[in-house]
Chains A and B, each alone.
Chain A
C-alpha cells in the first residue's frame, strides 16, 4: 500500500519534471485579430504579413532567450471587419487559444469593443493602427496604442496645410471633408471641424458615405458643386479608388488632396488609379522611403518575400510585434499580467532592432504612445515620397503645392 503510494508520487514527479521545462520552451502564443475578409481584407493581409515577418525573424534569431528560446506562435483570427465578430474572436483567442497578448484589429469599430474583452480577462492588447481617440480614453490598463490618434493626425493635417499655405503664399481657405461613415471616418471629421475652426478655415462640404457603395458618383458631383480648396479624405481602399477615379473623370481641380492613411496608403490604390493618384498628400506615420536606414533595409527584405512595399499598417504591425517580443523577453514570463507591467514602462527608440517606425515607443498611463507623430507623403509619378518633416525626407524630395490642374498634367 505504502509502496504503491510512493511509486505513484514519484511517477507524478517524473511527469511534472518532464512536462515543466518542455512547456516553457514550447511556444508563446500571440493572438492576431484582423479583417482578413470583407472590403478591408487587403489591408488586413498586409498587416498580417508585417506580424509574420517579424515573428519569423525573432524565431530564427533564437526566439525569446529568457524563456529558454521559446518560439512565438501567431494565432490568427479573422474579424471580417465586423465588431460583433471581433468580440467573439477576441474572446476565443483568450479563453480557447490561451494567447498571452492580442494585437489588432485595424478598424477602430472592431478595436474599440474587442479591447474591452482583453481588459476583462487582463490580457495586454497592442493596437498598431486604430485611430479612434476613445480607445485609449477609457482608463484601460491593458490597452496599448502604438499609432497616432485621429485627434493628433487631424491636427497635423490641418496644421500642415495652414503652414504650407503661409510659406507658399497660396493659402487654402475652404475645406471639403469626405469620409466613410463608420467610427473612424466620423471621428476624423469631427476633429477636422474642430481644428478647421482653430486655424480659421471654412468647411464647405461635409460628406459621409457608406464605404461599400457601388458608386460614389453622387459624392463626386457634390464636390464639383462645392469647389473646396482642399479635400480631406478618410477612406478605405475600394472607396478611395472610386473617389479618385470619379474626381479624375469629372476633372475637379482642388489645390490639395489630403488622405488619412487607410485606403490612400494601400499600394493597391496606386495600382488601380494610376496617374490619377498623383499629387495626393497622405498623412501617414512612416513610409518605405523614409530617411531611417533600418526601415529601408527591412522594406527591401519584405519586398523580396511579398513582392510589394510595406504599407504603413504593415510597418506598425511589424514594429508592434518586436515591442511585444521585447516585453515578453524582459518579463521572462508568459503571464499576461507580467507582460503588461513591462509594456507600461517600456521605452524603445527608432533604429533599435525591429523598431522601424520613425518615432519611439513609450506609453503614457492611458496606454497611448506619447512619441507617435505623422509624416506627410506625396504621390509623385505614382510613387509615394516622404516630403515633410524635412529631417525624415530623403535629399531631393520636394513638395508640389498646389496641385497642377488636369489640363496641365
Chain B
C-alpha cells in the first residue's frame, strides 16, 4: 500500500513537471493558433542557461529562475519579432497558413544542431547538494529536486492562470485567443499581444529548464524528449487551456508511473500514446477544451 502511494506521489510530481513543460505550448496555441515545434528547443536553451549560470557563477538552479525567466521572455519576444511575426503577417490572408509551422520546425532543427556544434554532444550534469537527496516518509523516499519541481510547477501555473484571469493584459491575451478579428476591431494591437504571449510561453520554459537541470542532464537534444510528451499533454488537456495542461500532465505522469509497475517501461510509454489516440477519437477537444473552436 505504501509502495503504491509512493508511485502515485511520484507520478503526480513528475506529471506536474510535464504539465509545466506543456504550459507554454498550450498558451501559444490558444492565443496565436500556431503549433510551436521549437518548444523543446527553447526548453533546451533554458537548461543550458541554467547550467551555464550554475557552473560559471556557482548559482543555485532555483535562484537562476530569477535570471532565466526574464531572459527566456526576451528570447521568446525577440523570436516572435524576428521570425514568427513577419511570416504571420505575410500569410495574413492565406486560408491555411502553414508557414509558421514550417518555420518553427526549421528553428527546432537549426538551433539544436547549432548547440551541438557549440557545446558538443556530451551529456553534462549540474551537481547540486540536493541532487541525490530524498525526503523520507516512513518507507517512502521522495526525490527532493522532484518535489521542488512540483512546487515550482504549481506555482508557475497558478501565477499564469491568475495573470490571464485578473490583469488587463491577461484579459487582452484571452480576448485575442477567442476572436482575433473582434479584438482587433476593439482596438487591441494583436501583434503586440502575440509578442507578449510568445514571450510568456517561453518564460514558463525558463522555470521548467531551471528545475529540470538538477535532475536530468544537459544535452542539445534534451528538450526533445519533453517536447513529444508536451504535445500529448496539450491535446489531452485541451489545446489552449492552462489548467488542462497541468491536469493533462499529471494524468500522463500517473499513468506512466503506475503502468510501469505492472508492465515494462517500454509498454507504459506505448500506453501513453494509445491513450492519446483514444482521446483524439472520443473527445478530440480534450478534457478542458471547448466543443467548438471559437
Contact = CB atoms under 8 A, between A and B. Distances in A.
Given A217-B143, A222-B261, A245-B131, A212 B225 contact: yes
B98 interface: no
Nearest to A273: B125
A214 interface: yes
Interface string A202-221: 00001111101111111101
Looking at chain A's contact residues, the main secondary structure is helix
A115 to B, nearest CB: 25
B7 A245 contact: no
Interface in A239-297: 241-242, 245, 248-251, 268, 271-274, 276
Interface in B55-80: none
A241 B122 contact: no
Interface in B248-284: 256-257, 260-261, 264-266, 268-269
A42 B261 contact: no
A210 B132 contact: no
Interface stretch (A33-41, A104-112, A380-388): A33-41
A241 B7 contact: no
Contact of B127 (A37, A214, A274): A274
Contact of A221 (B7, B215, B226): B7
A208 B266 contact: yes
B264 A37 contact: no
B3 interface: yes
B141 A241 contact: no
Contacts of B257: 217-218
B205 to A, nearest CB: 14
B265 A213 contact: yes
Nearest to A221: B7
A248 B123 contact: no
Given A215-B14, A221-B261, A249-B132, A238 B6 contact: no
Nearest to A245: B132
A38 B266 CA distance: 19
Contacts of A37: 113, 116, 121, 221
A210 B7 contact: no
B165 interface: no
Given A218-B256, A219-B260, A210 B266 contact: yes
B219 interface: yes
Contact of B229 (A214, A217, A248): A214
A218 B265 contact: yes
A405 to B, nearest CB: 15
A221 B6 CA distance: 9
A237 interface: yes
B127 A238 contact: no
Interface string B108-132: 0000010010001111110100011
A17 to B, nearest CB: 45
B219 A238 contact: yes
A250 B142 CA distance: 8
Interface residues of B, number: 40
Interface residues of A, number: 40
A181 B257 CA distance: 18
A408 interface: no
A181 B3 contact: no
A200 to B, nearest CB: 25
Contact of A249 (B134, B226, B264, B265): B134
Interface in B136-178: 141, 143, 146
Contact of A268 (B123, B216, B260, B261): B123
A73 B129 CA distance: 48
Contacts of B213: none
A136 B94 CA distance: 56
Nearest to B229: A214
A273 B124 CA distance: 10
A242 B216 contact: yes
A210 B127 CA distance: 25
Given A41-B116, A219-B265, A214 B226 contact: yes
B7 A218 contact: yes
Contacts of A216: 265
Contact of A218 (B116, B143, B224, B260): B260
B222 to A, nearest CB: 8
Interface string A184-228: 000000000000000000000011111011111111011001000
5 contacts: A37-B121, A37-B221, A208-B264, A214-B229, A222-B261
- Closest 10 pairs (CB-CB, A-B): A218-B260, A41-B121, A209-B265, A272-B125, A181-B266, A208-B266, A42-B121, A208-B264, A210-B269, A214-B225
Given A181-B264, A214-B216, 7 more contacts: A37-B121, A207-B265, A214-B226, A218-B256, A219-B260, A221-B3, A245-B131
Interface of B: 3, 6-7, 10, 14, 18, 113, 116, 120-125, 127, 131-134, 141, 143, 146, 215-217, 219, 221, 224-226, 229, 256-257, 260-261, 264-266, 268-269
